[in-house]
Structure 1
């Protein structure tokens, strides 16, 4: 069975959320490390996610049935870019990790993960409904 576009998007989003959670946890773990600068992952644009997800599924290419259609071209990177985050405060030791800020970001990761898993659960329920009784 091959993954649908939605399954591929959900898988990619979940992997990105997991990677971001690890980066944020490392920020918290290094909150007392002198000179440590917090990091975060940049989220991919929606267009790049769709492009990558389409390639990850069956390898089906979009066909232009009319020359006026926009061609499906371009390449997508597999991961979001790591980037330094400028903190609002810097400790005397040069550390700019703000625990409240990291906790807020981790809460957003949790909410996004719940949203993603709810979408997946609804997709599975829809598939079961489409297949019919006895499943």
Structure 2
């Protein structure tokens, strides 16, 4: 029952997106000293979700126009970071640490949405 609620789907998509972003950040940090390694990044969830939802509308009733999946498409892209180091590496450990904090907040936000939705459902069912 609860799997079909949009808030649960959105919270799950946010958590998966945060996990994918954290994996890319970890890979960048692990290769911080690898010659010619190009730092990668994944766009923020709001950008990916808006881009995808604008293209494919989702029909919730038979009378709605369009349809499609609102699950965001996660693609890696080169990170727009400044000049490479002398060995050609574009990873900035400081920037990656900031991205890691941002991703952690994104994941915590997804969990907060999930918890709040569960609270609303429990309250509507008369449970606390």
For the aligned pair, the TM-score class normalised by the smaller chain equals 0.7 to 0.9
Q: Over residues 75-111 of structure 1, what are the superposed CA-to-partner deviations in whole Å (9 max), with x where a residue is unaligned?
A: 6675312111132131100001001111111111011
Q: Alignment partner for residue 48 of structure 1, among 35, 49, 52?
A: 52
Q: Is the 8 A contact 2:52 2:72 kept in 1?
A: no
> Does 1:28 pair with 2:29?
yes
Offset, 1:41: 1.4
Task: State the alpha-carbon separation in 2 of the partners of residues 125 and 29 from structure 1.
Answer: 39
TM-score, normalised by the number of residues in structure 1: 0.78
Offset, 1:25: 0.3
What runs of 5+ residues in structure 2 fail to find an aligned partner? none
Task: State the alpha-carbon separation in 2 of the partners of residues 10 and 75 from structure 1.
Answer: 15
Offset, 1:124: 0.6
The count of corresponding residues between Structure 1 and Structure 2 is: 124
Which has the larger share of helix? 2
> Does 1:116 pair with 2:115?
no
| Segments ≥4 residues shifted beyond 6 Å | none
Q: Is the 8 A contact 1:39 1:85 kept in 2?
A: yes
CA RMSD of aligned residues (A): 2.7
Offset, 1:2: 4.7
> What's the counterpart of residue 16 of structure 1?
17
Q: Over residues 1-38 of structure 1, what are the superposed CA-to-partner deviations in whole Å (9 max), with x where a residue is unaligned?
A: 35111111111111111011001100000000000000
> Does 1:132 pair with 2:126?
yes
SS of residue matched to 1:117? helix
Offset, 1:127: 0.7
What runs of 5+ residues in structure 1 fail to find an aligned partner? 55-59, 66-70
TM-score, normalised by the number of residues in structure 2: 0.81
